[in-house]
Amino acid sequence: MPDPRCSCCYDDTFDRRLAEQELRDYRRRGPGRASRALVDALGRGDAKGRTVLDIGAGVGAVHQLLLERGAAAATDVDASRPYLDAAREEAERRGIADRVEFRHGDFVALAPEIKAADLVALDRVVCCYGDVDALVTLAAQRTRRRLGVTLPPDGRIARAVVGLMNAWQWLTRSSFRIYAHPHARVVAAARGAGLEPAGTAAVGMWRLLVFERPILTADSR
């Protein structure tokens, strides 16, 4: 079992070649469907003036689009140095790098140093991390308004596919593993941190789960 807190294996799995390839695809074709759906869900109502925490941002699509829709500032925390460099390069190209703080490392280890944000994204990240409870709990604790998570579908078929993918990882001697965590664990972790489920959607081969922090009124206190 690989150490889920090891960011060196993320640098190897999400390496420079992959980061450059994804950046080229992103520039040519724009963000993928899951990222677009997540941006729409997080920015619903109004993204203007909001702060964003994009955990495992990859080349940075989610926070870049939210900043372009008027969000005030973003933090990108990524365990892969090459992906973080690609996100910074793209933010510079778009003229928004001065509104992004880039942090390299495992979010679960860095969480005590990471500021809470209005909008928090875990876009295709939960499937890359073993300790789903810690990852989602810490992300939810840092969510002031809305948390969006994209992840593989629930159930036996998804877990069988992921099992085959992990067999390939093992055969190629990679220590990286993919996870099809039960959605109930994600929901329980988000609820445990005070968020409420606010919607789900199927987006191609991904599932989108959205959570919101209830607004406390004088009556509900």
Ligand X SMILES: C[S@@+](CC[C@H](N)C(=O)[O-])C[C@H]1O[C@@H](n2cnc3c(N)ncnc32)[C@H](O)[C@@H]1O
Dihedral sign from CA coordinates of 213, 217, 218, 221: negative
Among 42, 53, 66, 79, binds ligand X (CB under 6 A): 79
- In the bound state with ligand X, the residue whose beta carbon lies nearer, of 96 and 132, is 132
Among 96, 123, 143, 207, binds ligand X (CB under 6 A): 123
- Binding part of the chain for ligand X, among 125-133, 169-177, 179-187, 193-201 by CB under 6 A, reads 125-133
- Binding part of the chain for ligand X, among 41-49, 54-62, 162-170, 174-182 by CB under 6 A, reads 54-62
CA atoms in the 13 A half-sphere facing the CB of 28:
6
d(CA 31, CA 193): 29
Residue 85 interacts with ligand X (CB under 6 A)? no
Residue 128 interacts with ligand X (CB under 6 A)? yes
Among 83, 195, 211, 213, binds ligand X (CB under 6 A): 83
Dihedral sign from CA coordinates of 152, 100, 59, 167: negative
Residue 211 interacts with ligand X (CB under 6 A)? no
Site for ligand X in 7-26 (CB under 6 A): 10, 14
- In the bound state with ligand X, the residue whose beta carbon lies nearer, of 14 and 211, is 14
Size of the site for ligand X (CB under 6 A): 21
Among 37, 67, 108, 190, binds ligand X (CB under 6 A): 108
Residue 77 interacts with ligand X (CB under 6 A)? yes
Residue 55 interacts with ligand X (CB under 6 A)? yes
Residue 118 interacts with ligand X (CB under 6 A)? no
DSSP the chain: ---TT-SHHHHHHS-HHHHHHHHHHHHHH-S-HHHHHHHHHHTSS--TT-EEEEET-TT-HHHHHHHHTT--EEEEEES-HHHHHHHHHHHHHHT-GGGEEEEES-HHHHGGGSPPEEEEEEES-GGG-S-HHHHHHHHHHTEEEEEEEEEPPPSHHHHHHHHHHHHHHHHTT---------HHHHHHHHHHTT-EEEEEEEETTEEEEEEEPPPPPTTT-
Question: Cβ 36 to ligand X, closest distance in Å?
Answer: 11
- In the bound state with ligand X, the residue whose beta carbon lies nearer, of 101 and 196, is 101
Q: Which spans of this chain sit near ligand X (rule: CB under 6 A)?
A: 10, 14, 35, 55-58, 77-80, 83, 106-108, 123-125, 128-129, 135
